[in-house]
Structure 1
Amino acid sequence: MDGPAASGTPGTSSAPGAPGAGDRAVGILGRQRARESSARTYARSFPIVPVRAKGMTVEGADGRRYLDCLSGAGTLALGHNHPVVLEAVRRTMESGAPLHVLDLATPEKDDFTDALFATLPGEFADRARIHFCGPAGTDAVEAALKLTRTATGRRGVLAFTGAYHGMTAGALAVTGRVSARERVAEGVAEVTRLPYPYPYRCPFGVGGERGTALAATYAERLLDDPAGGVAPPAAMILEAVQGEGGAVPAPDSWLREMRRITAERDIPLIVDEVQTGVGRTGAFWAVEHSGITPDVMVMSKAIGGSLPLAVIVYDQDYDAWLPGAHTGTFRGNTLAMATGAATLRYVAREGLAERAATVGARMTARLDGLRHALPVIGDVRGRGLMIGVELVDPAGPVDSCGARPAAPELAQRVRAACLERGLIIELGGRFDATLRLLPPLTISDEQAETVLDRLADAIAHASADRHQDKQGRQA
Structure 2
Amino acid sequence: MMTDKVRIDTLSARSLPQSNDTFLARQAEFESNVRSYPRKLPLAIAKAQGVWITDVENNQYLDCLAGAGTLALGHNHPDVLQSIQSVISSGLPLHTLDLTTPLKDEFSSYLLSLLPGQGKEYCLQFTGPSGADAVEAALKLAKKVTGRSSIISFSGGYHGMTHGALSVTGNLSPKEAISNMMPEVQFMPYPHQYRCPLGIGGDAGVKALTYYFDNLINDVESGVRKPAAVILEAVQGEGGVNPAPAEWLQRIRKVTQDHGILLIIDEVQAGFARTGKLFAFEHAGIEPDIIVMSKAVGGGLPLAVLGIKKQFDAWAPGHHTGTFRGNQLAMATGLTTLKILKDNAIADKVAAQGEWLKGKLVELQKRFPVIGHVRGLGLMIGIEIVKPNEAQDHMGCYPADGELSALLQKKCFESGLILERGGRHGCVLRLLPSLLITDAELEIFLDKFENALLATGMEPV
- Normalised TM-score (structure 2): 0.95
Q: Is 1:119 equivalent to 2:145 in the alignment?
A: no
In 2, the alpha carbon distance for the partners of 1:293 and 1:186 equals 33
Partner of 2:378: 384
Pairs within 5 Å for 1:42-121: 42-121=37-116
Does structure 2 retain, via aligned residues, the 8 Å contact 1:76–1:302? yes
Percent identical = 48
Cα gap change, 1:320 to 1:20, in 2 (>3 Å): closer
Structure 1 partner of 2:358: 364
Instruction: Give the distance between the partners of 1:91 and 1:186, measured in 2 at CA.
Output: 47
- Give the structure 2 partner of residue 192 of structure 1: 186
The counterpart of 1:251, out of the listed 240, 245, 250, is 245
Aligned partner of 1:162 in structure 2 is 156
Q: What SS does the corresponding residue of 2:366 show, helix, strand or coil?
A: coil
Deviates more, 1:221-230 or 1:384-393: 221-230
Report the secondary structure of 2:430's partner residue: strand
Partner of 1:227: 221
Q: 1:265 to 1:246 in 2, by over 3 A?
A: same
Following TM superposition, by how much is the alpha carbon of 1:22 offset from its aligned partner in structure 2, in angstroms? Answer: 6.1
SS in 2 for 1:368: helix
- Identify the match of residue 298 of structure 2 among 295, 299, 304: 304
Distance 1:188 1:131 in 2: 23
How far apart are the structure 2 equivalents of 1:20 and 1:449?
A: 38
1:230-309 correspondence to structure 2 within 5 Å: 230-309=224-303
d(CA) in 1 for partners of 2:332, 2:35: 30
In 2, the alpha carbon distance for the partners of 1:454 and 1:93 equals: 40
Conserved? CA contact 2:292–2:305, under 8 Å = yes
1:23 positional shift: 4.3
Q: Contact 1:376 / 1:463 at 8 angstroms: preserved in 2?
A: no
Distance 1:175 1:432, change over 3 A: same
Q: 1:449 to 1:262 in 2, by over 3 A?
A: same
CA drift of 1:250 comes to: 0.6
1:135 and 1:330 in contact (8 A); partners too = yes
1:353 equivalent in structure 2: 347
SS in 1 for 2:158: coil
Check conservation: 1:76, 1:305, Cα contact below 8 A.
yes
- How many residue pairs were aligned? 446
Q: Note the C-alpha offset of 1:221.
A: 1.0
Contact 1:21–1:63 under 8 Å retained in 2: no
Cα distance in structure 2, aligned partners of 1:164 and 1:397: 30
- Determine helix, strand or coil for the equivalent of 2:458: helix
| Cα offset, 1:456, TM superposition | 1.7
The match for 1:437 is: 431
Deviations, residues 320-340 of structure 1 (Å, cap 9, x unaligned): 111111001101100000110
Following TM superposition, the consecutive aligned residue runs of length 4 or more in structure 1 with deviations greater than 2 angstroms are: 19-26, 185-188
The structural deviation recorded for 1:26 is: 2.2
* Residues 62 and 417 in structure 2, CA contact (< 8 A), matched pair in contact too: yes
CA distances 1:355-404 after superposition (whole Å, capped 9, x unpaired): 11011111111001111210100000000000000000011111122111
The 5-angstrom pairing of residues 388-467 of structure 1 reads 388-464=382-458
After superposition, the CA RMSD in angstroms is 1.4
- Helix, strand or coil for the counterpart of 1:79? coil
CA distance in 1, matches of 2:89, 2:17: 37
Partner of 2:4: none
Change (3 A) 1:134 1:463: farther
Letter in 2 for 1:426: E
Q: Is the 8 A contact 1:274 1:298 kept in 2?
A: yes
The equivalent of 1:331 in structure 2 is 325
Give me the whole-angstrom Cα distance separating, in 2, the residues matched to 1:86 and 1:279: 21
Does the Cα contact within 8 Å between 1:393 and 1:407 map onto a contact in 2? yes
Query: Is residue 173–residue 186 contact of structure 1 (8 Å, CA) maintained in 2?
Result: no
Output one character per residue of 1:271-305: Cα deviation in whole Å (capped at 9) or x when no partner: 00000111000001111111100100000000000
Which whole-Å deviations, capped at 9, do the CAs of 1:102-150 have from their partners, x for residues lacking one? 0001111111111211211216x11101110111100000010011111
1:321 aligns with 2:315: yes
Worse overlay, 218-227 or 306-315: 218-227
- Say which is worse superposed, 281-290 or 24-33, in terms of deviation: 24-33
CA contact (8 A) 1:374 1:460 kept: no
Q: Which amino acid aligns with 2:211?
A: T
Conservation of the 8 A alpha-carbon contact between 1:159 and 1:175: yes
Q: Deviations over 1:22-45 (max 9, x none)?
A: 644322110111221111111111
Which amino acid is the alignment partner of residue 417 of structure 2?
Answer: L
Q: Displacement, 1:227? A: 2.3
State the secondary structure of the residue aligned to 1:464.
coil
Displacement after TM superposition at 1:20 (Å): 8.8
Matches within 5 A, 1:143-222: 143-222=137-216
After TM superposition, give the deviation of residue 184 of structure 1 in Å: 1.5
Query: What stretches of structure 1 of length at least 5 have no aligned partner?
Result: 1-18, 466-475
Report if the CA contact (8 A) 1:22-1:61 is conserved.
Answer: no
> What does the per-residue CA deviation read over 1:207-252, in whole Å, with 9 as the maximum and x for residues that have no partner?
1111111111111111222222211101000100000011111111
SS of residue matched to 1:115 = helix
- Opposite residue 231 of structure 1, the aligned amino acid is R
How far did residue 180 of structure 1 move?
A: 1.8
Deviations 1:48-83 (A, max 9, x none): 000100000000011001000000000000000001
